[in-house]
Amino acid sequence: MKAQVFINHTESGNVEVSVIKDGLSFGAARKYQAMEEAKLVLLVFGFDKELVNRQLGTLSNTPPSVLISFPVTEIADEVLKSFGFQAAAFNAA
C-alpha cells in the first residue's frame, strides 16, 4: 500500500508513528516508549537509515505533537499488520 508516514513525540515522551494510506486524511498510529523502537519500525518500512536518523534528530528538537513527515512509500500490508498498524481506512478504495 502506498502510505504517508509521520512521527511525533507526545507530552509523555513516547514516539508516535502514524501511517496514512496515500490519498486519505486518517490512518493508524502506534506509540513507542523508546526512539530505538520507532527507528526499527521505520527501517522495516523501507526508509533509508540516514533519512530515519535525520528525521529522528529533527524530532528530538521539536515540541510535542509537531509532525515530522517521511516521503510517500510503498509498505507491504503484511508488514503494517505485523507491527500493529491496522485501520478500517486501509481497506477504503
Region 63-84 average pLDDT: 93
What is the chain's mean pLDDT, rounded?
A: 90
Hey, what's the cell of 89?
Answer: 481506512
| Band of residue 87 on the pLDDT scale cut at 50, 70, 90 | low
Domain that holds residue 86: 2-91
What is the tally of structural domains in the chain?
A: 1
Say what the pTM is. 0.89
Segment 1-42, tens digit of pLDDT: 899 999 999 989 899 999 998 888 788 999 999 999 999 999
Does residue 83 surpass a pLDDT of 60? yes
The torsion angles phi and psi of 8, rounded to 5 degrees, stand at -155, 165
